[in-house]
Structure 1
């Protein structure tokens, strides 16, 4: 096929240049990864040849890797209690005075919110997001706005709504088990007729 007969796909010349630049960058990054990987492997082999790490060192390293707490519902009692205390301080010190107006039928709140597992889960997730999104080093200066829009506002709507975890609680009465689900008919079980 002659050059005159070649199909014209209408691809701009700049796109080909961009692709070539990307290929060059990928090649350079691949070479860097190989260099770093081989250096890390070599350093690891030398370190293991000098001495074997003991179990205490491995536990310290694992502890250092875990900088932020996991989701509260996954914690066992001693760690859960500490995390809950810290969450209570945050909720009572920041959320309640700063964001919660007087409870009403449309905007409920329970002063014993920490006895409602759904409330604890939602507020803990909101708190974890707050820890990350109020630090300009991790999220820039728009983090607080993102936290309000994506985390606080939806959490408060769910918690304080008429069908939320505080639906059975009033100013004078606290009720924990008002939302326990009843039996749900199974789609897999056929009724005998």
Structure 2
């Protein structure tokens, strides 16, 4: 017979309900095992975790590439941060560094600190042909770049530069026995510091 809603009237076997309950219990048991094996995450959680792992992996790879690039760039900065001794440079690096040094010496040092040359305070207008002068003035110039920057030296940098760098350098370059000893105003001698042949005390002069 049909009920009031027009649905068929039939009896459901009792065993079918028992089978359904058994299936539900089995599914619940399997789901519990899955959670234990996956660390307590379900399908949705596993999906989010996999996406999170992928994003973390991408971030790590991107971070690694950025670190590698930074490392490569950092190497250049470190190399730039430790200027080499100018006399050890080869062209064209030596020429470029010397050109910058000449601009500083002629633009800052000569007009600001060098008075008229004299016998006790010598100066050579071709100082850049004297390796000793190049080496000392280059060191003073490097110190000037560091010690006139408030970010690296504060307010005492200029005083330290005068005391520890400029004054000792000029004392070595400008005396009558310094590298410009053979250079006078309007004259220039590059080879005046080269050792000459010293006669041996064991040899006899020719008659």
Partners of 2:149 and 2:64 lie apart in 1 by: 41
Alpha carbons of structure 1 residues 66 and 49: separation in structure 2 relative to 1, 3 Å: closer
Deviation of 1:172 after TM superposition, in Å, equals: 2.0
Residue 79 (structure 2) pairs with residue 66 (structure 1) = yes
Give 1:166's aligned residue: 180
The alignment partner of 1:108 has SS state of coil
The alignment partner of 1:171 has SS state of coil
TM-score normalized with structure 2 length: 0.60
Residue 115 (structure 2) pairs with residue 126 (structure 1) = no
Give the count of matched residue pairs. Answer: 139
The alignment partner of 2:156 has SS state of helix
Partners of 2:63 and 2:126 lie apart in 1 by: 57
Deviation of 1:144 after TM superposition, in Å, equals: 0.3
Residue 102 (structure 2) pairs with residue 88 (structure 1) = yes
The alignment partner of 2:80 has SS state of coil
Q: Which has the larger radius of gyration?
A: 2
Partners of 1:75 and 1:58 lie apart in 2 by: 25
Please list, as runs of the form range in 1=range in 2, the aligned pairs for 1:96-175 lying within 5 A after superposition.
96-175=110-189
Question: Which blocks of at least 5 consecutive residues in structure 1 are unaligned?
Answer: 1-45, 185-190
Alpha carbons of structure 1 residues 57 and 178: separation in structure 2 relative to 1, 3 Å: same
Partners of 1:156 and 1:50 lie apart in 2 by: 50
Question: Which blocks of at least 5 consecutive residues in structure 2 are unaligned?
Answer: 1-59, 203-207
The alignment partner of 2:179 has SS state of coil
RMSD across aligned C-alpha pairs, in angstroms? 2.8
The alignment partner of 1:144 has SS state of helix
TM-score normalized with structure 1 length: 0.64
Any idea what the Cα deviations from partners look like across 1:148-182, whole Å, max 9, x if unmatched? 01100010111001111100001121000100134
